[in-house]
Amino acid sequence: MTNPSPDSIAPSLALLEQLAHEAISTLPASFRDPATHIRLRVEDFPEEEMLEELGVDDAFDLTGLYDGIPLTEKSTADQVTRPDVIWLFRRPILDEWAERGNVSLQELVSHVVIHELAHHFGWSDDDIATIDPWWE
């Protein structure tokens, strides 16, 4: 592993979003297109209301969140009032990445995205493991 140069900067929100889109582009074909219809949002931290709703005390404990109705619970009669969203939280992701020290940022972002997609698609742990070897 090469050492970062002294003038390196922290990965941006835009870079994390790009990595998330790349993770989606590597999904099996049957999931790739439906996954592109989920909105991606990348923020530094989750909003206070989000943390309170989830009962999370420390914002660094939440790297991602699926906000929507899972496909296993949707009905064709449902009125779509807002898009499904996958939230990624840059600072907690970067904190976990630094703590781990043994995975690439792409691997970690992919792992978080796939975990959140699992909520949307209703995947089991076995389903996730076929897509994300890290899950095994």
Query: Which residue is it, tokens 């897509």?
Result: 131
Enter the pTM of the model: 0.86
Name the average pLDDT for the chain: 88
pLDDT in tens, 83-123: 899 999 999 999 999 999 899 999 999 999 999 999 998 88
What pLDDT was estimated at residue 42? 98
How many CA atoms, within 13 angstroms, populate the side-chain half-sphere of residue 34?
A: 10
* Rounded alpha-carbon distances, angstroms, from residue 96 to 5, 86, 107: 21, 18, 12
Report the pLDDT averaged over residues 13-29: 94
Question: Of 47, 51, 45, whose CA–CA distance to 89 is shortest?
Answer: 45
What pLDDT was estimated at residue 135? 54
Domains annotated on the chain, with CATH = 13-72+81-135 (3.30.2010.20)
What pLDDT was estimated at residue 82? 79
